[in-house]
Amino acid sequence: MTDVSKLSIGILGGTGDQGKGLARRFALAGHPVLIGSRNAQRAQEAAESIGAGATGAENADVARRADIVIVAVPYEGHKALLESLRDELAGKIVVDCVNPLGFDKKGAYALPVEEGSAAQQAAAVLPDSRVVAAFHHVSAVLLLDPEVEKVDLDVLVLGDDREATDTVQALAEAIPGVRGVYGGRLRNAHQIEALTANIISINRRYKAHAGIRITDI
């Protein structure tokens, strides 16, 4: 297993529930965590609410300073944000957890993405970064809940760079209860992002925070 314990984790859009939830778990696991935002003060407030040594700064600052950068912004802002950070993110592992989803009266559904998926869009916009797709199905509610000691799911990790996917699998396992599982190349990220719409339907029907487990491995 790759040793990732010393790596600093930056989170773009870390002021939202998903970013804060991941930040909280990585900070508790001992990682230096940098919360990113379009507004430095919002980032600092979010970092204070997490504690455990997390700090906050503008997204560009975080992208420049962190070893691994997680993208946790809504799909609407995804492409433009990454385009603006191409230089800062060059050479880094960039972890995309963005689910391009629409919502209507029937619930959640997957949006078409010209590049195939949000993760492939990130890879197209960031040719000098190592883009990995992961953390699509983990519930922010569970990540943020202090009563939840273990988060019971497999995190599917997709990418075209073996060292980068190994690193992100190991990072996922810093969250108690989580197993990181390689889920294929980036060209198969669409199904993983789209599956979140099914999980949202499951959550609504069963009043749950469902996760998935892969058997026989």
Ligand X SMILES: NC(=O)c1ccc[n+]([C@@H]2O[C@H](COP(=O)([O-])OP(=O)(O)OC[C@H]3O[C@@H](n4cnc5c(N)ncnc54)[C@H](OP(=O)(O)O)[C@@H]3O)[C@@H](O)[C@H]2O)c1
Interface residues toward ligand X, by CB under 6 A: 13, 15-19, 37-39, 42, 72-77, 81, 97-99, 136, 138-140
Q: Tell me how far, at minimum, the Cβ of 20 lies from ligand X, in Å.
A: 7
CA distance 149 to 31: 17
The smaller minimum CB distance to ligand X, of residues 5 and 103, is found at 103
How far is it between the farthest Cα atoms of the chain?
46
Please report how close the Cβ of residue 36 comes to ligand X at its closest, in angstroms. 8
CB-nearer residue toward ligand X: 2 or 202: 202
Task: Print the SS3 string covering 39-63.
Answer: CHHHHHHHHHHHCCCCEEEEHHHHH
Answer for the pair 57, 40: CB distance below 8 angstroms, yes or no. yes
Q: Which is nearer to ligand X, 145 or 173 (CB)?
A: 145
Angle of helix 118-125 relative to helix 75-84, nearest 10 degrees? 10
Q: Which is nearer to ligand X, 125 or 138 (CB)?
A: 138
CA–CA distance, 217 with 195 (Å, rounded to integer): 21
* Shortest distance (Å) from residue 138 CB to ligand X: 6
From the CB of 101, what's the least distance to ligand X, in Å? 6
Token pair listed for 81: 């944000």
> Is the Cβ of residue 42 or residue 86 nearer to ligand X in the bound state?
42
Per DSSP, the residues of 91-133 read TSEEEE----EEEETTEEEEPP-TTSSHHHHHHHH-TTSEEEE
Min dist CB 3 to ligand X, Å, is 26
